[in-house]
Structure 1
Amino acid sequence: AYGPESIAQAIHRCGAHRIGHGTRLRENGDLLNYVNDHRIPLEVCPSSNIQTKAAESWETHPIDFYMEYGLRITVNTDNRLITDTTVSKELWLCHKTYGWSLDTIKEILIAGFKSAFIPQREKADLLKHIVAELDQVNAPTNGKLVREPVKPDASQAGGKAFDPEAERASEPSTEIIR
């Protein structure tokens, strides 16, 4: 994390259309407003940012500030195998840490499609389908974040809350030997 000057350089000298991480963007208000005004997406990878010390903790990570400020952000994994995460886990942790609603998560998912490097016509068609799919998510869950059980069981009809820590405890260890 070299600071906001590296973000400015990527945008103004290199013509970047997206910014990876952006954890230090908030240090420069003018650049923050420029990124917001030009709808330049930030590809934010919270767990990776914490692991690499670009952010100290979930509580001090700027992602929630960026969301509240109105920036176009996407939630990503960066190094999925090393960080031992998925986009679903990252979104769940944002929900648990910041109280993000299902509507906020939908907004982030849509931002990802809006930010895709694909032709505009394909993007518009994809967005129509994605928005229609996401609109159906609220119906069966009443807006609650749930995950369907892997093995359907009558006692768990309607799904159960997704808890990545409980899931991680039941998985074999993937710890990297240092």
Structure 2
Amino acid sequence: MRHAARALEIAELANRYRDSGVAGFDIAGAEAGFPPTRHLDAFEYLKRENNHFTIHAGEAFGLPSIWQALQWCGADRLGHGVRIIDDIEIAEDGTVKLGRLASYVRDKRIPLEMCPTSNLQTAAATSYAEHPIGLLSKLRFRATVNTDNRLMSGTSMSREFEHLVEAFGYTLDDMQWFTVNAMKSAFIPFDERLAMINDVIKPGYAEIKSEWLFR
């Protein structure tokens, strides 16, 4: 938790057990007053060790939190990242212009760990239909769907997808796209990610589609 002062200690612990099932490192908790740069020593250590980490940024505090997480700390993924929408302009004619930070996030394929229900509860979004995931996925950011905390948010992955289907009319193809995005962004070796995508995720969705087709 980012309000604590034990980030380096826990980063060292995560690194020690990286070959025993610990996939990476994360900081979470309140952004305001607790910038990610407070834990720069932990992130510098993880980079030296070629380890992976994600940073909770851009939910409540906005673009400065995202910028620090990426450019100062070197995050591989962004926890939430919904406020990247603040760096995207939509003109009256519908044309879209990305700011430099938004362009960087999209160009670098930085994963956004989006948590719709949690974002509604923290007022980072006003409704499922107005959640930034709609525009960000349309613009082909590396958006993924997550629960944040199933107990606190009272949700599940199935429920998150259900809300998004109701809000945006997503199909199984869209859900497969989100799922493949998540596996592409996982902190596991490339060959394991590829095998999971080709041997589990795509065949799984194909089976569901065929079952629906013959109902």
Place the TM-score, normalised by the shorter chain, in its bin.
0.7 to 0.9
TM-score (norm 1): 0.77
Query: How many Å apart are 1:128 and its aligned residue?
Result: 1.3
Q: Equivalent residue for 1:142?
A: 213
1:41 maps to which residue? 111
The 5-angstrom pairing of residues 84-99 of structure 1 reads: 84-99=154-169
1:4 aligns with 2:33: no
Which residue identity lines up with residue 53 of structure 1 in the other structure?
A
User: Displacement, 1:59?
Assistant: 2.4
One-letter amino acid of the counterpart of residue 81, structure 1: L
Q: Residue 70 of structure 1 aligns to a residue in which SS?
A: coil
For 1:49 and 1:118, the matched residues in 2 are separated by 27
**Secondary structure in 1 aligned to 2:82?**
coil
Structure 1 spans left out of the alignment, 5+ residues: 144-157, 159-178
1:37 Cα shift?
0.6
Q: Distance in 2 between matches of 1:86 and 1:41?
A: 20
1:70-81 residue pairs with structure 2 within 5 A?
Answer: 70-81=140-151
Number of matched residues? 144
The superposition leaves residues 37-83 of structure 1 with CA deviations (integer Å, 9 ceiling, x where unpaired) of 11111000000000011112222210101110101111111111111
4+ residue runs of structure 1 moved beyond 6 angstroms?
none
Q: Secondary structure at the match of 2:67?
A: helix
DSSP-derived class of the 2:125 partner: coil
Distance 1:82 1:26 in 2: 25
| Deviating more after overlay: 86-95 vs 53-62 | 53-62
* Equivalent position SS for 2:128: coil
Deviation track 1:10-29 (CA, whole Å, cap 9, x = no partner) reads 11111111111111101122
SS of residue paired to 2:148: coil
* 2:122 counterpart residue number: 52
Local SS of the residue matching 2:144: strand
Identity of aligned residues (%): 41
Structure 1 residue 142 displacement after superposition: 2.4
Q: For 1:71 and 1:34, locate their aligned partners in 2 and report how far apart those are by CA, in whole Å.
A: 10
SS in 2 for 1:24: helix
* Alpha-carbon shift at residue 100 of structure 1 (Å): 0.8
Aligned mates of 1:9, 1:102 — CA distance in 2: 35
Deviation at 1:133, TM superposition (A): 2.2
Residue of structure 2 equivalent to 1:20: 79
Look up the SS of the partner of 1:71 in the other structure. coil
